[in-house]
């Protein structure tokens, strides 16, 4: 692309009265500008390049003035050779013009007809440099039009600008059970989609559903089955993973060995958390101990509480009795501080996220699945998180208190949330196991994906 500054310079030179004078009296093939001492070396170079492109090689030269002007090549291109004199030679009866050039200590004779192509090459280099420099100039500048002529349109190749995605903010509220994994999903998805930001808050499944249905949050994290009134208000559920609730007790409990060997049945859990018929450790373990069992439950509306109530042969969270404590962390801490205390927690608040070992001061209460009064080897999987989640995955741990976790929107999800859901159900499943959760079966994952296509 010819830069505008170079074209303007050529117009200025060609408007020079000396150029017009010589153009009017000299043959069209002549290069009269070479004879004008009123033009600068740079101007002569530009015109020499210009005329070398458009003028046949038969352009007449006049030795003394030509050499004077051709020497300007040395000033503009110092690495170039220096002309010394013009030579006429008889080449088969034709007077052929040569220029002797000095290059350091060496001499080179160049036929003048070749100079045209040399200058053309130099001219193209100059244009390339000029174009590179011109690209940093003000793009709004327009060249002045030459009188009597129409400026040629400038053409440039501009790479198409990639449209930037509009910023998207997604607010999430709800179950403590899903909070750790949802945080991981949000962080990883945002790395791939920087224009998407998340605000994830844990406050219990009930709060999450209320926030979502009232518009205070875009997505609810739900750790129980939805209620009919929630469905009637337009709740749109997508199953994303599996988590579990465990009964918990203090790791310094004086009856730890007996409890680990015997475990509890759903009927015994009913007597502790629902009816209140079992009040002492002696009643539970068949000993003469009269020490009280200190029972703790959740004060906030929680899916974990509802799942533990159902396991304990109750129906809803309201059926549970005990000292009410807010949130998963609060309930876990209450049991850790009470050697005679019992409670229940989600997996993420029972096992250490980094080591997979039980949290200091807390142990999971084994479930006597076959009701034979003892924990058999196939029922003993509470020492590490990996062993426990494997038991959930293969069905040895019962549903409930294991359950499916959902992400919920009011009505069909927006396109941005749909894209996030698709990632969660595909690539996002790679983070499920490491976070202490259990993956849905391939069939159940496909069912969730199919919901997004309806």
Pick the CATH number of 168-241+413-453 from 3.40.190.10, 3.10.450.50, 3.90.1150.10, 3.40.50.300: 3.40.190.10
Angle between helices 415-425 and 442-453 (to 10 degrees): 170
Q: What share of the chain is helix, strand, coil (3-state, %, to 5)?
A: 40, 20, 40
- pLDDT computed for residue 29 by the predictor: 34
Left, alpha or beta for 300 (phi > 0: left; psi -120 to 50: alpha)? Answer: beta
What 3-state DSSP class applies to 332? helix
According to CATH, the superfamily of the domain at 245-393 is Periplasmic binding protein-like II (3.40.190.10)
DSSP string, 383-435: SSHHHHHHHHHTT-S-TTTSEEEEEEEESSPPHHHHHHHHHHHTGGGGGTTTT
Q: Are 347 and 437 in contact (CB under 8 A)?
A: yes
Residue 5 burial (CB count, 10 A): 13
Contacts of 65 (CB under 8 A, 6+ apart): 34, 35
Question: 88: closest CA among 56, 63, 119, 58?
Answer: 63
Please tell me the distance from the alpha carbon of residue 213 to that of residue 394, in angstroms, as a whole number.
35
Residue 296 burial (CB count, 10 A): 24
Q: Are 46 and 6 in contact (CB under 8 A)?
A: yes
Please tell me the distance from the alpha carbon of residue 90 to that of residue 81, in angstroms, as a whole number.
25
- 174-200 burial, b if ≥16 CB within 10 A, otherwise e? bbbbbbbbbeebbebbeeeeeebebeb
Residue 148 burial (CB count, 10 A): 5
Q: pTM for the complete prediction?
A: 0.65
Pairing of strands 294-298, 341-346: parallel
Reading the block at residue 83, the tokens are 């002309």
- If you count them, how many residues does the chain have? 454
Domain range summary for the chain, segments of one domain joined by +: 4-132, 168-241+413-453, 245-393
Reading the block at residue 408, the tokens are 């919920």
Please tell me the distance from the alpha carbon of residue 293 to that of residue 343, in angstroms, as a whole number.
10
Query: What separation, in Å, do the N-terminal and C-terminal C-alpha atoms of the chain show?
Result: 53
Ordered strands of the 323-325 beta sheet: 323-325, 294-298, 341-346, 245-250, 362-364
Is 245-393 the same fold as 168-241+413-453? yes
The DSSP symbol for 350 reads: T
- pLDDT computed for residue 138 by the predictor: 44
Please tell me the distance from the alpha carbon of residue 274 to that of residue 257, in angstroms, as a whole number.
25
Q: What angle do CA 270, 276, 280 make, to 5 degrees?
A: 100
- pLDDT computed for residue 44 by the predictor: 46
- pLDDT computed for residue 165 by the predictor: 79
Residues linked to residue 88 through DSSP beta bridges, in sequence order? 97
The tens digit of pLDDT for each residue in 396-417 reads: 999 999 999 999 999 999 999 9
Segments of the chain with pLDDT less than 50: 1-4, 17-39, 41-115, 117, 119, 132, 134-153
Please tell me the distance from the alpha carbon of residue 439 to that of residue 55, in angstroms, as a whole number.
79
- pLDDT computed for residue 164 by the predictor: 77
- pLDDT computed for residue 16 by the predictor: 52
Q: Are 172 and 200 in contact (CB under 8 A)?
A: yes
- pLDDT computed for residue 190 by the predictor: 98
Please tell me the distance from the alpha carbon of residue 421 to that of residue 454, in angstroms, as a whole number.
14
């Amino acid at each position: 692309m010819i830069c505008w500054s170079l074209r303007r310079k050529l117009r200025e030179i060609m408007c020079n009265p000396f150029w017009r004078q010589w153009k009017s009296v000299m043959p069209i093939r002549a290069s009269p500008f070479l004879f004008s001492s009123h033009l600068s070396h740079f101007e002569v170079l530009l015109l020499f390049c210009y005329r070398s492109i458009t003028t046949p090689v038969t352009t007449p030269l006049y030795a003394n003035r030509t050499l004077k002007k051709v020497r300007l090549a040395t000033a503009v291109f110092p690495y170039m050779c220096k002309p010394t004199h013009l030579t006429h030679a008889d080449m088969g009866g034709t007077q052929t013009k040569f220029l002797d050039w000095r290059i350091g200590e060496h001499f080179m004779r160049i036929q003048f007809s070749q100079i045209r192509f040399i200058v053309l090459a130099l001219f193209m280099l100059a244009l390339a440099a000029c174009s590179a420099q011109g690209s940093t100039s003000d793009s709004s500048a327009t060249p002045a039009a030459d009188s009597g002529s129409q400026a040629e349109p400038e053409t440039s190749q501009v790479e198409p600008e990639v449209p930037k995605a509009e910023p998207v903010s997604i607010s999430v509220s709800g179950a403590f059970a899903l909070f750790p994994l949802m945080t991981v999903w949000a962080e990883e998805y945002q790395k791939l989609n920087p224009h998407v930001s998340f605000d994830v808050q844990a406050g219990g499944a009930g709060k999450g559903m209320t926030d979502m249905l009232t518009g205070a949050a875009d997505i609810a994290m739900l750790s129980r089955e939805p209620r009919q009134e929630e469905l009637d208000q337009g709740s749109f559920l997508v199953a994303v993973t599996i988590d579990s609730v465990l009964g918990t007790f203090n790791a310094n409990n004086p009856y730890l060995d007996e409890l680990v060997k015997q475990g509890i049945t759903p009927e015994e859990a009913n007597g502790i958390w629902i009816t209140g018929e079992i009040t002492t450790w002696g009643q539970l373990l068949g000993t003469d101990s009269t020490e009280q069992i200190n029972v703790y439950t959740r004060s906030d509306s929680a899916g974990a509480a509802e799942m533990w109530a159902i396991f304990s042969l109750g129906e809803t969270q309201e059926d549970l009795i005990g000292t009410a404590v807010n949130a998963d962390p609060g309930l876990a801490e209450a049991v850790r501080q009470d050697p005679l205390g019992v409670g229940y927690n989600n997996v993420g608040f029972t096992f250490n996220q980094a080591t997979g070992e039980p949290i200091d001061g807390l142990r999971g209460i084994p479930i006597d699945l076959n009701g034979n009064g003892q924990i058999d080897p196939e029922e003993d999987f509470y020492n590490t998180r990996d062993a426990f989640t494997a038991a959930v995955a293969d069905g040895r741990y019962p549903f409930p208190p294991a359950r499916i976790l959902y992400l919920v929107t009011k009505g069909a999800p927006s396109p941005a949330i749909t894209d996030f859901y698709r990632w969660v159900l595909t690539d996002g499943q790679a983070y499920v196991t490491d976070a202490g959760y259990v993956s849905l079966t391939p069939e159940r994952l496909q069912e969730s994906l199919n919901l997004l296509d309806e």
